[in-house]
Amino acid sequence: MTRPAQLLDRRARRRRETIEEILEVAVEVMTEDGVAALSLAEVARRMGLRPPSLYQYFPSKAAIYNALFAQGARRVAAAAVEAEAAELDGADPLARLRTFQDGFCRWCIENPVLTQLLFWRTVPGFEPSPESFAPAVAHLEELRSRLRAAVAAGQLAPQAASEEAVALFTCLVSGVVAQQFANEPDASYEQGRFTRLVPTVFDMFIARYAPKEHTS
């Protein structure tokens, strides 16, 4: 005999699985039709559901965008940290920062739909909730902490941890990703004409904020 708690767990698991499936299908639709062209009717059709059934899980299209934003923010942050963890020379803050950012850029190129939702205003009027935006804020703080570590190690000048430097760093990185999508959207991260410049962009940032004793 199935106990009430087991029944609730089973229902909760099925609900989580259905939510994940809805989000996966939504990304499929957005990949084919455009990020701003998400259709709940099309998502329901592909899942074999009646459109009103989706409202049991998401009350609106904006709610799906919001859930995808949170999912993307978590995943890109995790990809950056995982890439950094693979860096053998863990004592070198700049080497760790380089792999941290490389993991970020690679994830962006491999996940174009979520990247557009995260970093470009592709959906008119959409604003993520504070809860969904929180992982993005945390990721930016991770970047700041790594810049501060490089400063503490004497590899970068103190200005490298300033808000201006953080803004410049993100502009350089996002510019590479945007150029790749605009010009070679189907190229791999390794073969992309612009993504191949990620190490060069990183070196430019280092040169801009090199310690004074290293600039002569």
- Comparison of pLDDT for 3 and 47, the residue scoring more: 47
pLDDT of 105: 95
In a domain, 66, yes or no: no
**What band does 215 get if pLDDT is binned at 50, 70 and 90?**
very low
Domain with 1 in it: what CATH number?
1.10.10.60
Give the CA-trace dihedral at 33, 38, 39, 44, to 10 degrees.
100
94/127 same-domain check: yes
Domain count across the chain: 2
144/93 same-domain check: yes
- Comparison of pLDDT for 4 and 128, the residue scoring more: 128
Name, of 13-22, 50-59, 147-156, the range with top average pLDDT.
Answer: 147-156
181/93 same-domain check: yes
- Comparison of pLDDT for 104 and 214, the residue scoring more: 104
pLDDT of 89: 61
Which two three-digit tokens encode residue 72?
Answer: 């993307």
pLDDT of 212: 83
52/89 same-domain check: no
Domain with 85 in it: what CATH number?
1.10.357.10
167/196 same-domain check: yes
162/90 same-domain check: yes
180/88 same-domain check: yes
Asked if residue 90 has pLDDT above 80, the reply is no
Asked if residue 216 has pLDDT above 50, the reply is no
Looking at the chain, the whole-number percentage of residues with pLDDT higher than 90 is 82
User: Which residues are CB-neighbours of 204 under 8 A, at least 6 positions away?
Assistant: 172
| Mean pLDDT score across all residues of the chain | 92
Contact (CB, 8 A) for 142 and 97: no
Looking at the chain, the whole-number percentage of residues with pLDDT higher than 70 is 93
129/187 same-domain check: yes
82/177 same-domain check: yes
In which domain, by residue range, is 131 found? Answer: 73-214
In a domain, 67, yes or no: no
pLDDT of 91: 75
159/87 same-domain check: yes
Residue type, 61: K
Sign of the CA dihedral with 194 first, then 198, 202, and 203 last: negative
